[in-house]
Structure 1
Amino acid sequence: MNWNVGIISDEISLDFAHAVKVIKELGASHVEVRNLWNKNITQVSDSEFSEMRNIVEKYGLTISNLDSFTFKIYINDEKGYKEHLQILRKVIELSKKLDINYTRIFTFWYEGELKYYIDKLAERFNSAIDIAESEGVTLVIENEYSCLVGTSKELRTFLDKIKSKWIKVLWDPGNAFFARETPYPDAYELIKDDIMHLHIKDAMVKDGHFIWMPVGKGMIDYKGQFRALKGKPYVISLETHYRNAANDLEASTKESFNGLIKILREVTS
């Protein structure tokens, strides 16, 4: 199978060494780092950062992305905005140490439709783009249903508004589904040329409620989605979110990973 498959480590455990061991055992090639040892990646010490690198190297894996929470604040929070620009600087600094040329960014908490906030959002992104350009690191916007940009339509609208080569897409079909969009084929078509990274989780509506499911057991057409992604260089990074009846993170991630691999094999064969 010629796919770059990764897992976000804290979906297994905050014990980073254990999470990476499980990721290796499952057969993934990449690990994505968000929270470890009860802190976000941007809050680790130099020695902890070195330890993180050593653990990943020990298991022969590659770090695909470092996930800060940049701009998961309200758009008019001036103090928070200044703090988050510093968080962005920090995650870029750490990413460059790993030769990673992009980092994930959000679009502020949802307070209403994008059309009412798009000018302010573009203005807020100016400083972030300046930082990205000076550091040579691309900012990939994750479509997040709790933020101002949750759907591919909103992504397309915002990308067309800011017109910066330093802004690309972290495509999350599960988040698009939660934002009441059909992730594939319609949504994907709008942003496919701007994707740099992917987060994979499955979802469905059950009795009127949106719930996370193991990959392959939800309502998202992942067979079609992965067929469209065949041969692309992106890392497909599992972000399970699904929890089994026992609320066991590791077992839930394993179930989802097995579902993901099953679909990738079907698409590849």
Structure 2
Amino acid sequence: MAERRLTVAPSGITLGGIGDEAAPDLAGQIEAHTRLGWSAIELRNVDGHALADLGDGAFEQARESIAAAGLRVTCVDSRIANWGRPISGNLGADVAELATLAPRCRALGTRYVRIMSYPNDGLTAAQWGAEVVRRIRLLAAQAADEGLVLLHENCAGWAGESAERTLRLLDAVQSPALRLVFDIGNGLAYGYQGYHFLTQVVDAVAHVHIKDGVVRAGTPVWTGPGDGDCRVADCLRLLAERNWTGVCSIEPHLNVQPHAGVTDAGAAGKDAFVAYGRRLEELLRTADPRLRVRT
């Protein structure tokens, strides 16, 4: 049973999570959020399928289940321009996915679609950047026509490698249909400190992923929030200082890592997800008075 619903004052931060980090099945994802008492859920894979790949009947059942549980969908994590779609791939796959997601996002009550910016595949840095900008301009125009906002994540792709490139992408596209989702822990994989990245892009951030970890033998090892080197508390303080309003979604990566093909943590997945959420609540209570939890 839900214990409470949480927001963080005064910045207006709402806590949520990426559902399939808790369980592959939607029922398990809903259960984990209900146990936490959180009302915000971010959708990536539902019952083992990307949201755009669900049949119409399966999608409608999912929508009804989410609504019946009293959850609101804050963002849909698409495959557009992600690690599986390099710059050499067919842009048509991304255009088609966005077209499928547009009415589904409206039905779910969210405008936000997470994207990345295409891993390189043999192009020079200049060619890569130019083609990324061309594609994202087209996709942002499509999103704007559909009333959606693309949220670029600092992950796989040209603009995810540095704050400077992220700002160059935003400046080149110049569209209100393109903003940012900032993942606090992604810098571990790309060789930068997340907090410093955030200081440069914070004004364009509409959504946040909570992830923490350390680098061991050159490889990221994920930890609980506040237990690693990603300065999670400092990032949250920075958001509070800016009176930022938005959702912080936990993405533990402790048991589930879709990019590595690990999509089901079994029975322990929901418990680990809930424990991670509780650890974040504790961090918010103790890190700074401005991050106090309001029930």
TM-score, with structure 1 as normaliser: 0.90
Of structures 1 and 2, the one scoring higher in RCO (CA 8 A, sep 6+) is 2
Matches within 5 A, 1:1-269: 1-2=7-8, 3-72=13-82, 73-77=85-89, 80-111=90-121, 114-144=125-155, 146-150=156-160, 151-184=162-195, 186-230=196-240, 231-243=243-255, 248-266=268-286, 267=288, 268-269=291-292
Residue 51 of structure 1: how far off its partner (Å): 1.6
CA contact (8 A) 2:40 2:72 kept: yes
1:232-257 per-residue CA deviation (whole Å, 9 max, x = no partner) reads 2211011111239xx64323322321
Task: Name the % identity.
Answer: 23
For the residue of structure 2 that corresponds to 1:117, the secondary structure is helix
Following the alignment from structure 2 to structure 1, what is the Cα–Cα distance between the partners of residues 126 and 68? 48
Question: Whole-Å Cα distance in 1 between the matches of residues 17 and 54 of structure 2?
Answer: 20
Contact 2:32 2:273 in 1 (8 A): no
Looking at structure 2, the residues matched to 114 and 187 of structure 1 have their Cα atoms a distance apart, in angstroms, of 20
**Residue identity in the other structure for 2:238:** A
Q: Distance in 2 between matches of 1:87 and 1:262?
A: 38
Call closer, same or farther: CA 1:202–1:12 in 2, change over 3 Å: same
What is the deviation of 1:64?
A: 0.8
Query: Residue by residue, what CA displacement relative to the aligned partner does 1:19-53 show, whole Å, maximum 9, x if unpaired?
Result: 20121111222111110111101111222222212
Name stretches of at least 5 consecutive residues in structure 1 with no aligned partner.
none
1:196-250 superposed Cα distances (whole Å, 9 cap, x missing partner): 1111111111243221112121101111111122242211011111239xx6432
Shift of 1:115: 4.2
Q: 1:110 to 1:262 in 2, by over 3 A?
A: farther
Quick check: 2:17–2:250 contact (8 Å CA) kept in 1? yes
State the AA in 2 paired with 1:182.
Q
Greater CA deviation, 250-259 or 118-127?
Answer: 250-259
Distance 1:234 1:113 in 2: 36
SS of the aligned residue for 1:165 comes to: coil
The separation in 2 between residues aligned to 1:129 and 1:220, in whole angstroms, is 30
* Inter-CA distance 124–192: structure 2 relative to 1 (3 Å threshold): same
Asked whether the equivalents of residues 114 and 149 of structure 1 are also in contact (C-alpha less than 8 Å), the reply is no
Q: CA deviation at 1:59?
A: 2.0
In structure 2, the gaps of 5 or more residues are 1-6, 257-264
Cα contact 1:114–1:154 (8 A) shared by 2: no
Counterpart residue type for residue 238 of structure 1: I
In structure 2, how many angstroms separate the alpha carbons of the residues matched to 1:140 and 1:49? Answer: 22
Q: 2: CA distance between counterparts of 1:125 and 1:207?
A: 35
TM-score by length of 2: 0.83
For 2:60 and 2:270, the matched residues in 1 are separated by 25
Please tell me the residue identity of whatever aligns with 1:241: H
